[in-house]
Structure 1
Amino acid sequence: MNKRNLSNRGIALFSITLLVLFQILSFFPQQVDAKELTNGVIITALDKDGTTALPLTAVEFEEGQTALDVLIEATDFHEKDLNYQMFDGLGAFITQIGAASPPANSYDYWWGFYVNGEYPLNEGVSSYKVKNGDSILLKIIDATSDTVNVRVSANDINQDTIFDQTVEIVNGASAYDALRLASKTAKNPVQAKIDTSLLASLKSIGQVGLSDSEYWAQYMNKNFMDVGVSSYPVNEGDHLEVKVESFAIPTEGEENESVDEGEDNPDTGGETPVEDTGTEPKPDQTPVTQEQVRAAVQSTKQFLSKSAINDDFTAVALEVAGGDVPQEYIDRLKEEIIEKEGIYRNVTDYERFVIGLTAAGIDPTNFAGYNLVEKIYSNERMINQGNNGVIYALLAYDSGNYEIPSDAKWTSEKLVNYLLDQQLDKGGWSLFGTSASVDITGMALAALAPYKEQENVQAAINKAVEWIASVQDSNGGFSDDTNGGDASETTAQVIIGLTSVGVDPTDERFTKQKGDMVVASLDSGASTGVNLIQHLLTFKQSGGGFAHISGGDTNTMASTQALLALTAYDYFLTDKGSIYQFSKPEVVVDSDEIVDNEVTPTPDKSVEIEESLNEEKQPETKSVATTVVNKKESDQEVLKGQPLPNTATPLFNLLAAGGTLLVIGSTVLVYSNRRQTNKV
């Protein structure tokens, strides 16, 4: 073999190796992330009729750039025409954006320029230097162009008013424009971040910021906004409300926890008033028996039954405690879902509905014309509420052992692996971030319970149980400033979680010593201290309900959680399994009534339900594949379908090009071999 042929063969082999490597690497997923802009603005343009000439776009800018610079970048990005003239002393005069321009040979119309809902004083599009968070609107107007009056109010976490202003703003402006203008008038400036997906999102108003578990909730005319404030065009008489809310546990934004809504609708909202708010005596040395637990269950159930049920978990609590899910809850939920056309912003709404309906023996895969389970497993916002969405998705799936398609966006396997990946080093789980929450950890245990025979799941459970025991206070509870101190709901969540995974909440790990308080354990009466069950009972009120904080008034949510916890403990003692697992509803449905989430609801058709009221709930242990989903891969799945910049590698083109080069390289190699053979 001569040197020339050897060289040709070496080049061919090297080329093929390189191309094969190129082909393999091209199959790896490309990272596509929504990008938060260090300095960002949003910009859009409308014609005189309000039709979009330039889509709402987030643009990153450099210090000192003008609105014209941003406009040029946005039109270039969308490949839109932009025509303007520069005049000495006056700056740029825009004549066309996209297909929109003022009527020809008319001086009655021109491009109006607005920043944050108003004309920037003595500045034009080429002289105004943009600032982070700005909202820029260009619209063709005339001297008679109309404006709209919009009321804007903002409240902090305590629902104290930050400001309440009515502003006059150009027709076509967004809710974000109205908010910026109102906050400026009230001298409580808005701080917002701009990113390529959510566009504008609030960080603070005046001195009011957010903690890790809080967010700015946005309501338009009392309805939760399904789009961001920057995407909503305001109309005459609109009322925009922004207020700090917390990711409540176990449910987010429950209407019956709002004092304002309770006043507007006293039959269905707010906390249940009671005349007697005194707490019962602290526990003495008398052992807590199963009969005493059941007596507490009955009194709490009776207390909750006296009020209108407007909460999914209260309905569940009444059912598992031996009662029935009230028909009023089912009717209200059906009416609400039809009214909202099955559309809810938070995935936890669908999850709560599924658990509540399954408890009632009603099939949530065809309720009011909607498949609520499908709304969960195909949801794009699963992790927008932190670990809550994942936890309640598992509880919802397993509440009726629902079959989830293997190609679903969120299968049980993906949810379990995601939750395992989120466990913190010390053993707990957080809602967001790296600060573990006892409440969230208790909820996570309940969600993972059906999968505990899987080795890695059981290991995570053991780690979490030990962490909970290590952070329990000497009085038997868990003090947390974000909950206002030692909250009964936290103790209740821990009891539910422990009993779900088969751990006794009265064992020595959860029996703490406190001074001269002596409490006998449930099983033997031999040990001294206070355990989780005894501690929970210290919050019980003489009227049957439970207080949120010891010495406080009766609270509906605290009573609901206490009822669930005490029932969970009774289930534990009688080997009934998890309180969140029910018999799968058996239904007979007309074939033309089964619809997907895009079909118009058919509220007048009835669903025939076959209930087994006395059938004992038997938990079913499940297992999932042991392959752990990489967190980055999970994040990519969540981002799928969002309006992000085109930053992904064009894989089809790469593969096609690579395939072509591979064929060429192979041909060179074969040709070289044949030449060498012929010479031999």
Structure 2
Amino acid sequence: MNTMKKRGCQILVLFMTAGMLTGCGDGTPKLEDALKKTASYEMKTVEDPASDALGGEWTVMALARSGEEADENYFEKYRANIEKRVKEQEGVLSENRYTEYSRAVLALKSIGKDPTDIGGYDIEKPLEDFDTVVSQGLNGAIYALLALNADDPDANKDGELEQKYLDYIVEKEKDDGGFSLDDNAENGDVDLTAMTLQCLEMYQDENNVKEVIDKGVEFLADTQDDDGGYTAYGAKSSESISQTVIALSAVGVDCNEDERFQKDGKGLYDTLMTFYQKDGSFKHILDGESDPMATDQAFCAMVAYQRYQNKKNSFFDMTDHR
């Protein structure tokens, strides 16, 4: 698989007490300090957050969920940009990639905006088209379920549509407890397993789902490399670590303190921070340079972990908005 194809797969499958600052490994930046610097970096490099772009929805979501003070009108810029796009395209963000709708719905809900009325269009309604959503496979179903449940999981999660997505997702479990974008694959992969756990968080009180979550956590522990990272799609990347941190934080597992995820006395947060740059950005691979997607996902992961530490709503549980 060539480099571009590996990178394409990464994009397709795309996040102690409150008074303590994480950073157990020697030289590991403290979570609060690193998060602030990354938030500042993102606002400087993504000055005009737009839909359907790197430095768009994920940047907006991470910043909104972080609680860090955003520049004046930052979130309004995104809302205006998505409204402009929706109007220009007459409400159609994509004919077949419905993750476009899921991502926009999540971003809007993270800033307390109603996705059912954006320039007169309801951009959440396309997620009712189950067949088109799952034509993208597991990835499509995961983000549709996250988007539908984000603002009111207690009211929505037991709905007929949500249960249909849940059943579809749970049925995709592999024998090893993991999940994969490839229905024909024998084994799960790290990124999709982590993403699946993120959307199953809302259903932890259901026995059959709790069992799936527990097996998924064990899969993520068992597939961790000896150096504390993960190899996915032929490369050791920060994005796989970021997705795992978001997942573990969602289901109540401390990614840095749980012994199952510690290697040589360092946890997953410590390992993620080996990709961290002094300016607040993150690298995709250790010998690479700053990367927008890696930075977005690491920002989401840091926010998710901090919210876990502070006993706040999880990253995708947006009932608290901002």
* Structure with higher strand content: 1
* Structure-1 residue corresponding to 2:208: 456
Equivalent position SS for 2:170? helix
Tell me, yes or no, if the aligned pair for 1:312 and 1:353 is still in contact at 8 Å. yes
Taking the aligned partners of 1:394 and 1:508, their CA distance within structure 2 comes to 31
Equivalent residue in structure 2 for 1:304, among 37, 42, 50: 42
Tell me, yes or no, if the aligned pair for 2:149 and 2:157 is still in contact at 8 Å. no
* Structure-2 residue corresponding to 1:573: 309
Equivalent AA in structure 2 for residue 445 of structure 1: L
Question: Residues 494 and 406 of structure 1: is their aligned pair in 2 closer, same or farther, counting only changes over 3 Å?
Answer: closer
**Following TM superposition, by how much is the alpha carbon of 1:530 offset from its aligned partner in structure 2, in angstroms?**
2.1
Taking the aligned partners of 2:136 and 2:271, their CA distance within structure 1 comes to 30
Equivalent AA in structure 1 for residue 31 of structure 2: V
Pairing 1:248–2:27 present: no
Correspondence 1:478-557 to 2 at 5 A:
478-480=230-232, 482=233, 485-506=235-256, 507-513=258-264, 529-557=265-293
Equivalent AA in structure 2 for residue 534 of structure 1: D
Question: Residues 577 and 249 of structure 1: is their aligned pair in 2 closer, same or farther, counting only changes over 3 Å?
Answer: farther
* Structure-1 residue corresponding to 2:139: 388
Pairing 1:466–2:218 present: yes
**Following TM superposition, by how much is the alpha carbon of 1:285 offset from its aligned partner in structure 2, in angstroms?**
5.0
**Following TM superposition, by how much is the alpha carbon of 1:420 offset from its aligned partner in structure 2, in angstroms?**
0.8
Equivalent AA in structure 1 for residue 284 of structure 2: H
What is the CA deviation profile of residues 431-471 of structure 1, one whole-angstrom value per residue up to 9, with x for unaligned ones? 12224210111111110001100000000000011111011
Equivalent AA in structure 2 for residue 571 of structure 1: R
Tell me, yes or no, if the aligned pair for 1:492 and 1:565 is still in contact at 8 Å. yes
Tell me, yes or no, if the aligned pair for 1:312 and 1:356 is still in contact at 8 Å. yes
Tell me, yes or no, if the aligned pair for 2:41 and 2:280 is still in contact at 8 Å. yes
Higher relative contact order (CA 8 A, sep 6+): 2
Question: Residues 429 and 450 of structure 1: is their aligned pair in 2 closer, same or farther, counting only changes over 3 Å?
Answer: same
What is the CA deviation profile of residues 389-439 of structure 1, one whole-angstrom value per residue up to 9, with x for unaligned ones? 11101110121117669886xx11111111110010100000122242101
Equivalent AA in structure 2 for residue 455 of structure 1: N
Equivalent AA in structure 1 for residue 32 of structure 2: R
What is the CA deviation profile of residues 2-35 of structure 1, one whole-angstrom value per residue up to 9, with x for unaligned ones? xxxxxxxxxxxxxxxxxxxxxxxxxxxxxxxxxx
**Following TM superposition, by how much is the alpha carbon of 1:496 offset from its aligned partner in structure 2, in angstroms?**
0.3
Return 5+ residue gaps in structure 2 as ranges.
15-22, 51-55
Taking the aligned partners of 1:458 and 1:314, their CA distance within structure 2 comes to 30
Correspondence 1:169-248 to 2 at 5 A:
246=9, 248=11
**Following TM superposition, by how much is the alpha carbon of 1:305 offset from its aligned partner in structure 2, in angstroms?**
0.4
* Structure-2 residue corresponding to 1:321: 66
* Structure-2 residue corresponding to 1:476: 228
Equivalent AA in structure 1 for residue 64 of structure 2: E
**Following TM superposition, by how much is the alpha carbon of 1:286 offset from its aligned partner in structure 2, in angstroms?**
3.5
**How many percent identity over aligned positions?**
31
Equivalent position SS for 1:365? coil
* Structure-2 residue corresponding to 1:430: 180
Tell me, yes or no, if the aligned pair for 2:157 and 2:163 is still in contact at 8 Å. no
Taking the aligned partners of 1:562 and 1:406, their CA distance within structure 2 comes to 31
* Structure-2 residue corresponding to 1:205: none
Question: Residues 499 and 158 of structure 1: is their aligned pair in 2 closer, same or farther, counting only changes over 3 Å?
Answer: closer
Tell me, yes or no, if the aligned pair for 2:195 and 2:247 is still in contact at 8 Å. yes
Taking the aligned partners of 2:176 and 2:286, their CA distance within structure 1 comes to 29
Pairing 1:350–2:101 present: yes
Pairing 1:336–2:72 present: no
Question: Residues 295 and 249 of structure 1: is their aligned pair in 2 closer, same or farther, counting only changes over 3 Å?
Answer: farther
RMSD: 2.6
**Following TM superposition, by how much is the alpha carbon of 1:578 offset from its aligned partner in structure 2, in angstroms?**
1.0
Question: Which runs of at least 4 in structure 1 moved beyond 4 Å after TM superposition?
Answer: 156-159, 402-408
Taking the aligned partners of 1:352 and 1:320, their CA distance within structure 2 comes to 15
Tell me, yes or no, if the aligned pair for 1:475 and 1:530 is still in contact at 8 Å. no
What is the CA deviation profile of residues 572-608 of structure 1, one whole-angstrom value per residue up to 9, with x for unaligned ones? 1111131111137xxxxxxxxxxxxxxxxxxxxxxxx
* Structure-1 residue corresponding to 2:117: 366
Equivalent AA in structure 1 for residue 61 of structure 2: V
Equivalent AA in structure 2 for residue 561 of structure 1: Q
What is the CA deviation profile of residues 220-253 of structure 1, one whole-angstrom value per residue up to 9, with x for unaligned ones? xxxxxxxxxxxxxxxxxxxxxxxxx5472455xx
Equivalent AA in structure 2 for residue 398 of structure 1: N
What is the CA deviation profile of residues 186-216 of structure 1, one whole-angstrom value per residue up to 9, with x for unaligned ones? xxxxxxxxxxxxxxxxxxxxxxxxx8x99xx
Equivalent position SS for 1:477? coil
Question: Residues 158 and 490 of structure 1: is their aligned pair in 2 closer, same or farther, counting only changes over 3 Å?
Answer: closer
**Following TM superposition, by how much is the alpha carbon of 1:363 offset from its aligned partner in structure 2, in angstroms?**
0.4
Q: What TM-score results when the alignment is normalised by the length of structure 2?
A: 0.85
Taking the aligned partners of 2:146 and 2:157, their CA distance within structure 1 comes to 17
**Following TM superposition, by how much is the alpha carbon of 1:535 offset from its aligned partner in structure 2, in angstroms?**
0.2
Equivalent AA in structure 1 for residue 101 of structure 2: Y
Question: Residues 318 and 405 of structure 1: is their aligned pair in 2 closer, same or farther, counting only changes over 3 Å?
Answer: closer
Tell me, yes or no, if the aligned pair for 2:25 and 2:270 is still in contact at 8 Å. no
**Following TM superposition, by how much is the alpha carbon of 1:378 offset from its aligned partner in structure 2, in angstroms?**
2.6
* Structure-2 residue corresponding to 1:274: none
Taking the aligned partners of 1:492 and 1:438, their CA distance within structure 2 comes to 11
**Following TM superposition, by how much is the alpha carbon of 1:377 offset from its aligned partner in structure 2, in angstroms?**
1.7
Taking the aligned partners of 1:384 and 1:531, their CA distance within structure 2 comes to 36
Question: Residues 285 and 364 of structure 1: is their aligned pair in 2 closer, same or farther, counting only changes over 3 Å?
Answer: closer
Equivalent residue in structure 2 for 1:445, among 190, 194, 197: 197
**Following TM superposition, by how much is the alpha carbon of 1:380 offset from its aligned partner in structure 2, in angstroms?**
3.1
Tell me, yes or no, if the aligned pair for 1:545 and 1:555 is still in contact at 8 Å. yes
Tell me, yes or no, if the aligned pair for 1:477 and 1:532 is still in contact at 8 Å. yes
**Following TM superposition, by how much is the alpha carbon of 1:505 offset from its aligned partner in structure 2, in angstroms?**
0.8
Equivalent position SS for 2:275? coil
Return 5+ residue gaps in structure 1 as ranges.
1-155, 160-210, 215-244, 252-282, 514-528, 585-611, 614-680
Question: Residues 284 and 316 of structure 1: is their aligned pair in 2 closer, same or farther, counting only changes over 3 Å?
Answer: closer
Taking the aligned partners of 2:149 and 2:229, their CA distance within structure 1 comes to 29
Taking the aligned partners of 2:13 and 2:212, their CA distance within structure 1 comes to 21
What is the CA deviation profile of residues 75-110 of structure 1, one whole-angstrom value per residue up to 9, with x for unaligned ones? xxxxxxxxxxxxxxxxxxxxxxxxxxxxxxxxxxxx
Correspondence 1:261-276 to 2 at 5 A:
none
Tell me, yes or no, if the aligned pair for 1:377 and 1:404 is still in contact at 8 Å. no
Largest Rg, 1 or 2: 1
Taking the aligned partners of 1:404 and 1:303, their CA distance within structure 2 comes to 35
Equivalent position SS for 1:583? helix
**Following TM superposition, by how much is the alpha carbon of 1:287 offset from its aligned partner in structure 2, in angstroms?**
8.1
* Structure with higher helix content: 2
Aligned residues: 297
Equivalent position SS for 1:450? helix
Taking the aligned partners of 1:428 and 1:493, their CA distance within structure 2 comes to 14
Tell me, yes or no, if the aligned pair for 2:110 and 2:318 is still in contact at 8 Å. yes
